[in-house]
Amino acid sequence: MKNLFETTVLYLSGLNTSSETRKAIQNRSNIFIMSDAAEDAVLRPKEFGAFDHGMRAALAARIAFQNQEDGLAHKYLEGAGNFKKVANPSYKGETKDLKSILSFMDKVAKDTRNVVAEDITALKSAHVNDADIVRLAELNSFMAYQIRLITGLRLMKGAEDERDIA
């Protein structure tokens, strides 16, 4: 098992491990351990359907780039294999099906409240079955959670840094 401060969210948050927040983090260690377990389950599941681990990593990197989380994006890019170009938010896809998938993922990541039934219909037209639509939604949901958690921890770090200056 990795050190608590080596979990993705704590590592990328930049929190100082010798700070007074250390105790608070250790008291909530289950959040960070479960977050890493969720990361594994979403990005490297045993049953991955139509989207293998490389494609999932590329999609995760794409979402991270769209949220200006370059460190997180590069972490996922390492596992993208042959799908690295998918991680670039300006890449729109070479086939109609891939274009539909990327368009859906981008909309869910950037404009969730405006996702409508027609977006799901477009995925089905792109030969994405119901189980894989759920898998794509899970990936997007997890990334939203992870990015928000990292952002929240950075806010703690900012408050901590201000105390150190004062």
Per the CATH hierarchy, to which homologous superfamily does domain 4-165 belong?
AhpD-like (1.20.1290.10)
pLDDT value of residue 26? 86
Q: Would you state the pLDDT for residue 19?
A: 65
Listed by start position, the domains of the chain span 4-165
| Cα–chain center distance at 146 | 6
Residue 159: predicted pLDDT: 63
For tokens 């590069």, name the residue. Answer: 74
Q: Hey, what are 143's tokens?
A: 């990334």
Give pLDDT, residue 4: 84
How many CB atoms are closer than 10 A to CB 108? 20
163: tokens are 């105390």
In 3D space, the residue among 41, 39, 82 whose CA is nearest the CA of residue 58 turns out to be 82
pLDDT less than 50: residues of the chain? none
The sign of the torsion formed by the CA atoms of 30, 36, 37, 39 equals positive
Strand, helix or coil at 133? helix
